[in-house]
Amino acid sequence: MTSYIIRRVLVAVPTLLVVLTLVFLLVRVAPGDPATAVLGQQASKQAIENLRRKMGLNQPLWQQYFQYLKGLVQGNLGKSLISRRPVGGQVLHALPFTLELTATGVFFGSLFGIPLGILTAIRRNTLVDYLGRVFSLAGLSIPAFYLGILLMMLFSIQLNLLPTVGGGQQANVSDLLYHLVLPGLTLGLIMTAYVTRMTRSSILNILRQDYVATARSKGLRERAVIYKHILKNALVPILSVLGVYSIVLIGSSVMTEIVFSRPGLGKLMVMAMKQRDYLMLQSLLTIYAGLVVIINLVTDLSYGFVDPRVRYE
Amino acid sequence: MVMTIIIGVIAVLAPVISPYSPVEQDILNQYNPPGGVHFFGTDNYGRDVMSRIIWASRISLSVGFFSVALGMFVGSIAGVIAGYAGGWVEGLLMRIVDIGLSFPTLVMGLVIMAVLGSGLDKLIIAIGIAMAPRFARIAHGPTLSIREESYIEAARAVGSRPTRILFRHIIPNILGEILVMATLWIATAIRIEANLSFIGLGVSPPTPSWGNMVRAGVNHLIMAPWLSLIPGAAILVTVLSFNMIGDGIRDIADPKLQG
């Protein structure tokens, strides 16, 4: 197991390195000079040149690249071009807000999606199945920002139950949860749609297997067939779906953070783009790439927990 | 299907059926609620919301179709070349594809928009490039098996050039699968456009797009909720109808997946 984890991490290193190189090049081919972006169009040529030198932008590209990699290895992400504050600190402040949001989305998605998927598969071609399918297709179609606005209108503006914007204080757990409910529910409902759909199709696949017919024909009660024979076998595909869609959820979390003004990575990223803060953008994309690698690793490892037949060799 | 056709007709006939200009301001008629002369009401500049919704449908549909067409073209060719060439070409192309796949399409679109700048043409390019890895993955698999078929060997034996083998023998054989995928991705492309315009990185105001209309309405949610709700509903209905068509086509193409 440990050697498997080490090997997986080592395999991820070249991928991450290619991602980092692409990100590095991408932000450098972007139009507009970062120094001009910081000082404004009216700044004198001399001032812009000075700032470029200070930012290290007049060094050859390969030197900038190695400095960037060296900084990363040392855990130093550099300073924001706009606020001149260390990027690492800002990212560390924003990361928990995004992680809490994504985790809540996955939690709600599994909580509602797995039972709904099982129900629609078992009650196939009934009203329940039909409604479940319409719900999941609507969930796949609705943009996260629109669902967020609808929930905000209902729970914050009409019923006045929950806060409209903000992320709450990290030190205060109840305040944090209070601010997490609506954005979490927004992502959770979207995740529910994906999970319902995929759970339904995995269960339908398993229902066709011979061992299900055998279990039924030996007179097992339906409940035992579902829990012992169908659900246990469906867990691996469901887990892999949870992994894949957690990555989709990271995309939706950007939008949710903007609607609810949560101070997470997504909000930081959009701000960096608008201000042409390339250094910040570069670091954020690095973090996103790292998150994707971690999610994939955790998903692969979780297979072994739900299915003892899976061996890590 | 009917809904999609209706949306398509609305987009094509926008100049004819739009009751007012989508950008003309009328300060005396701000925040008119839906009903009366302005069926969907007016916004904070007194512009007719219905006319703006009608004109914005052109943006959504053109981004949906053209970006998917671009992604399909670039991605499929890359996937087919990787599958047919094998060796280091395949290794390099598919590694790039894997990296593209590891980022959510929206995040990819965001980054490419940041590099290209805003505008309709750039939006189409950004979403097209963000989708290309998905198409490359779909095209790569079948190419690997078709490559081993005897008719490909025969084509090679009679001295056909690789480009001829790709375009005459391989691509026509995988086109069906790719087109099914393309229908499913139109809905996603429309949704990503709405997202990017909502953030302010897509189509810039005053040109109306459903995404930037929802965004502009967010500041007036209490006073004039229709400004966000109606364009949002337009996005939902359009994406839903394309998703339903995509689902239907996929079920016909692959009955095993049917419920």
Q: Which residue has the higher pLDDT, B162 or B39?
A: B162
Nearest to A178 by CA among A110, A104, A246: A104
The whole-number pLDDT of residue B184 equals: 81
The whole-number pLDDT of residue B256 equals: 54
The whole-number pLDDT of residue A247 equals: 77
Contact B178, B170 (CB under 8 A): no
The conformation of residue A161, written as its DSSP 8-state character, comes to: -
Report the gap between the CA of B171 and the closest CA in chain A (Å): 29
The whole-number pLDDT of residue B72 equals: 94
Q: Is the dihedral of CA A22, A27, A31, A35 positive or negative?
A: negative
Please answer yes or no on whether A149 and B117 come within 8 Å at the CB atom. Answer: no
Express each pLDDT in B231-254 by its tens digit.
Answer: 999 999 999 998 888 888 877 776
Mean pLDDT value of segment B184-197: 89
CA B128 to CA B121: how far, in whole Å? 11
Chain A contacts of B211, Cβ < 8 Å? 143
Nearest to B214 by CA among B234, B236, B198: B198
CA trace torsion A173, A178, A182, A185 (10° rounding): 50
Three-state DSSP state, A41: coil
Please answer yes or no on whether B195 and A281 come within 8 Å at the CB atom. Answer: no
The whole-number pLDDT of residue B255 equals: 58
Q: Which residue has the higher pLDDT, A142 or A176?
A: A142
CA B189 to CA A308: how far, in whole Å? 40
The whole-number pLDDT of residue B40 equals: 78
The whole-number pLDDT of residue B75 equals: 94
Q: Which chain A residues in 66-125 lie under 8 Å from chain B, judged by CB atoms?
A: 124-125
CA distances from A297 to A9, A70, A75, A164, A301 (A): 8, 25, 22, 35, 6
Report the gap between the CA of B239 and the closest CA in chain A (Å): 5
Report the gap between the CA of A110 and the closest CA in chain B (Å): 20
- A12 to chain B, any CB pair closer than 8 A? The answer is no
B45 burial (CB, 10 Å; 0-12 / 13-18 / 19+) is middle
- A186 residue type, one letter: T
pLDDT above 70 coverage of chain B, percent: 98
Please answer yes or no on whether B221 and A281 come within 8 Å at the CB atom. Answer: no
Mean pLDDT value of segment A1-24: 77
- B232 to chain A, any CB pair closer than 8 A? The answer is yes
Express each pLDDT in A72-128 by its tens digit.
Answer: 888 777 777 777 788 888 888 888 888 889 999 999 999 999 899 989 988 888 899
Report the gap between the CA of A174 and the closest CA in chain B (Å): 27
Contact A167, A91 (CB under 8 A): no
Please answer yes or no on whether B232 and A149 come within 8 Å at the CB atom. Answer: yes
Express each pLDDT in A159-173 by its tens digit.
Answer: 888 877 777 777 777
Instruction: Mutate one of B60, B110, B223 to test the A interface: name it (highest A CB count within 10 A).
Output: B110
Q: Identify the closest residue of chain B to A258 by CA–CA distance.
A: B199
Q: Which residue of B106, B113, B243 is in closest CB contact with A251?
A: B106
Tokens standing for residue B206: 């005053």
Q: Is the dihedral of CA B94, B95, B101, B105 positive or negative?
A: negative
Please answer yes or no on whether B110 and A124 come within 8 Å at the CB atom. Answer: no
Express each pLDDT in A234-258 by its tens digit.
Answer: 887 787 777 777 777 887 888 899 8
Give the global pTM.
Answer: 0.84
The conformation of residue B209, written as its DSSP 8-state character, comes to: -
Report the gap between the CA of A21 and the closest CA in chain B (Å): 11
- A161 to chain B, any CB pair closer than 8 A? The answer is no
Nearest to B47 by CA among B207, B184, B179: B207
Please answer yes or no on whether B243 and A140 come within 8 Å at the CB atom. Answer: yes
The whole-number pLDDT of residue A310 equals: 64
- B92 to chain A, any CB pair closer than 8 A? The answer is no
Query: How many residue contacts between A and B have a Cβ separation below 8 Å?
Result: 122
For the cut 50, the answer to whether the pLDDT of residue B259 exceeds it is no
Please answer yes or no on whether A18 and B99 come within 8 Å at the CB atom. Answer: yes
The number of helix segments (H) and strand segments (E) in chain A equals 13, 0
Mention every residue, 6+ apart, whose C-beta is less than 8 A from residue B121: none
The whole-number pLDDT of residue A311 equals: 61
CA A281 to CA B30: how far, in whole Å? 39
Q: What is the rounded average pLDDT for all residues in chain A?
A: 82
Give the ipTM of the model, two decimals please: 0.85
- A37 to chain B, any CB pair closer than 8 A? The answer is no
